[in-house]
A = this chain, B = another copy of it.
Amino acid sequence: MLGRTYDREVCSAARALEVVGERWSLLILRDAAFRGLTRFSQLQEALGIAPNVLSARLEHFVASGLMTVDRDEGHPRYALTPKGRELVKVVLALTEWGDRWAAPDGPPIEYGHEGCTGTVRLVTCCDTCGGSPPVEDIVARRTPAMEKALARRGRTR
């Protein structure tokens, strides 16, 4: 399992990266979520990933509560939990960036809204004005939880 790589950080993004920041992690979750793959062999074939790496990732996902594993039927079957499924939004954000900046022939997939003909995008939303601010208008503000965490560690930033 991955160690506490970003242990010095008081940051939810760093905590998330400790869970899915290793190579292949987010693409395994993508295939579990969008291609419905549940078997080790399916994931291995789809991704062309080294078996020992896939094995380590899946064990880590189960240990971290992102996936459950059902070993009753011979070959284990992996399924995303709600905790794991919510990471799909990270995959969406990566996809949208890649579509815009790294897909010269156009987006290879689009995210559809099931039961609707529409496509789904991730947008920013301000809970007060209802606007969708561009990233340059978003600022990070410390919460009391951050101040407490830093005080516990004897740090001020």
Contacts and interface: CB of A to CB of B under 8 A. Distances in A.
Interface residues of A, number: 87
A149 B108 CA distance: 8
A14 to B, nearest CB: 6
Given A103-B145, A112-B138, 19 more contacts: A12-B97, A13-B91, A13-B94, A15-B103, A17-B27, A18-B102, A85-B135, A86-B97, A86-B100, A89-B93, A92-B93, A92-B138, A106-B144, A107-B143, A108-B142, A108-B146, A109-B146, A116-B131, A120-B127
B127 A121 contact: yes
Chain A binding surface SS class: mixed
Contacts of A83: 101
Interface in A7-40: 8-19, 21, 23, 26-27, 30, 33-35
Interface string A79-90: 000010111111
Given A86-B100, A128-B116, A141-B110, A27 B12 contact: no
A59 interface: no
